[in-house]
Amino acid sequence: MPWVLTPDNIGAFTRPQIAFPESQYDFSTVPMGDDDLVAIGADLEPSTLINAYSHGLFPMPMSAKKIGWWCPVTRGIIPLDGLHVSRSLQKHLKRFSIRVDSCFAQVMKACGDPKRPHGWINLEFIRAYSYLHAMGWAHSVEVFQDDQLVGGLYGVRVGNLFAGESMFHTETDASKAALVALVALLEATGITLFDVQWTTPHLTSLGAIDIPRNDYLALLAQAQNRDSPDRL
């Protein structure tokens, strides 16, 4: 979708990533069992988060003081050549304008609205990912209509992986517009793997598919330019 590929949008998405100290946690050694939840504990420091994503794990809060780390047995991805854009959606896209990284925290807060089902994104996560954003590792795609934020998504870019975290909309098709724009950005900037964690009917309608964990970890290793993990 060429309407999103502006120099400002691409520049924001590909800005330099600030380095940080090595993580004290090694997610490459986490055993993979038969459950989606594979570890509990650790923290949300930048090095912890990036180490986790680079080895296939992502966090969600289990309680006010406990972090869980997931690596789903069946993983959702969107193949970049498999995006489905219906004719009706194509027409609706013209109603929106797209920005990148213009209001990251606002997008996270909207995704974590407690009025939404499964609104698990708390202040601790907003602070942690906003810090990642400031360091160039996390990004948001925002959808505007008449200068009002009506949809968006955010995620983390590590190597040639983009790990989508959450999306929201207040206008019909606004979150779909964000995803269409994101896929255009991913293709334009050399990303090869678009992780959406779990598929939903909403994501499936746009081309998301389920793959086994082992297949995902192999694709992730390729996206990180390393050999497939021994724990497959």
Question: What single string gives the DSSP state of each residue in 63-98?
Answer: SSS-EEEE--SEEEE--TT-----HHHHHHGGG-EE
- pLDDT for 90: 84
- The string of pLDDT tens digits covering residues 9-44 is 999 999 999 998 889 999 999 999 999 999 999 999
Q: What is the CATH number of domain 2-15+75-223?
A: 3.40.630.70
Q: What is the mean pLDDT of residues 188-210?
A: 95
pTM to 2 decimal places: 0.93
> 204 is written with which tokens?
């499936």
Q: What is the mean pLDDT of residues 69-89?
A: 93
| Cα 8 versus chain centre, distance | 20
> 71 is written with which tokens?
């690596």
Q: What is the mean pLDDT of residues 179-188?
A: 94
- Asked whether the beta carbons of 142 and 99 are under 8 A apart, the reply is yes
Q: Which of 93, 89, 92, 75 is nearest to 205 (CA)?
A: 89
Residue 209 or 8, more confident = 209
- How many CB atoms sit inside 10 A of residue 171's CB? 17
What is the C-alpha separation between 17 and 71, in angstroms, rounded?
Answer: 25
Percentage of residues in the chain having pLDDT higher than 70? 95
User: Around 97, how many Cα atoms within 13 Å sit in the side-chain half-sphere?
Assistant: 9
Largest pairwise CA distance in the chain? 51
Helices 46-54 and 123-134: angle between axes, nearest 10 degrees: 80
Residues 6+ apart with CB under 8 A from 201: none
Q: Which of 225, 216, 232, 205 is nearest to 58 (CA)?
A: 216
Looking up tokens 């498999």, which residue turns up? 82
Q: DSSP 3-state assignment of 62?
A: coil
- The string of pLDDT tens digits covering residues 131-163 is 999 999 999 999 999 999 999 999 999 999 999
Give the domain ranges of the chain: 2-15+75-223
Task: Report the Cα–Cα distance between both ends of the chain, in Å, rounded.
Answer: 36
